[in-house]
Amino acid sequence: MTRVLAAITLVAGFATVSAQNLTPGCQNALKNIAANQDAAACLTPAALVGIAATNSSTSLVGPIGNWLDSLCGVSPCSNSTLDFVVSTLTSGCSAELSLVGYTSDQQSNIEAVVRQYYPTVRKVVCLKDGNDNCITKTLKAVESVVGPLSIDNLAKIITGSSNLNSSAIPKEVYCSDCTKAQYNIINKEIPNAFDGSKSDITQQCGSSFVDGQDPSGITQSAVASPSKGNAAHMLSAFPDTSATYAFLAVAGLFAMAA
C-alpha cells in the first residue's frame, strides 16, 4: 500500500506543477522534447490533456488511466531517446525536478537509473486485469474508501493535512491479483527490491502472494514492436500547454524509475 500511496502523492506533485509557471529554461527544454518525434511518440504526453479540463475537486484517475493506455499502446523509448530526454531535462528543469527529489549532484547517475528501471516500470504500469489497467483499478479501489483522488485531496496528502489513514484501506486493495503480478515483475527484474520488506508483505498478504506464481487473468498490454504514433501532431494542437504535459510525462518517467 505504501507504493500505491507514493504513486498517488507523485501524481499530486505533478498536478501542482501544472498549475505553476515553469521556468524559462524548463520551457525551452520541454519544447525541445515535445518537438522530438521519438520522445513524443513513446511518452505520449498529449494523452494527459484531460487534466487541463479537470477541476481541483475532480478525480484524476480517469486522465491518468487514459495516459497509461496511450503509453502502453506505443513502442517503448529507446536508450538514445531516454538519454536525450534525461540530458535535456536535467540541464533545463533542475528546479522543477527538485520536486521529485533530484539534486544536481545526482545528475551523473540519472541516465543509468532511467535506462535500468524504465523497462521494468513500463511492464508494471501496463498490466491489465481483464480490460482494466491495474494501476487505474487499484486507484479506483482506493477512491472507494478515501474519496476522489483529486488535486485538492492529493495536495492535502502531500502537506500532511489529510486525515487519510492507510489502515482504513482493506488489504484486498493492495493484496490483489494486480499487485501480486506487479510484485512478481519487480521481484524478478530487481531481485533486491524487497529484501527489507518481504516479511512484512507476507504478513499482510499471505505466503501465496510471494510464491512467484502469476495470477490468472492478468495480462501485459505494453507494446513491444515498433509502431507509428501521432503524439507529436497532437502536441502541436496544444501549443500553450504542451510543455506542461511533456513535463508531467517525463517527470513521471524519472520518478517511477527512481
Number of H helices and E strands in the chain, helices first, is: 14, 3
Asked whether residue 245 carries a pLDDT value surpassing 60, the answer given is: no
* Domain parsing of the chain, residue ranges: 2-257
pLDDT score of 207: 95
Asked whether residue 179 carries a pLDDT value surpassing 60, the answer given is: yes
Q: How confident is the model at residue 2 (pLDDT cuts 50, 70, 90)?
A: very low
The rounded distance, in Å, linking the Cα atoms of 246 and 27 is 10
Q: How confident is the model at residue 49 (pLDDT cuts 50, 70, 90)?
A: low
- What is the pTM (predicted TM-score) of this model? 0.79
Please choose, from the candidates 39, 17, 18, the residue with its C-alpha nearest in 3D space to the C-alpha of residue 95.
17
- How do residues 195-223 score in pLDDT, each as one tens digit? 888 999 999 999 999 999 999 999 999 99
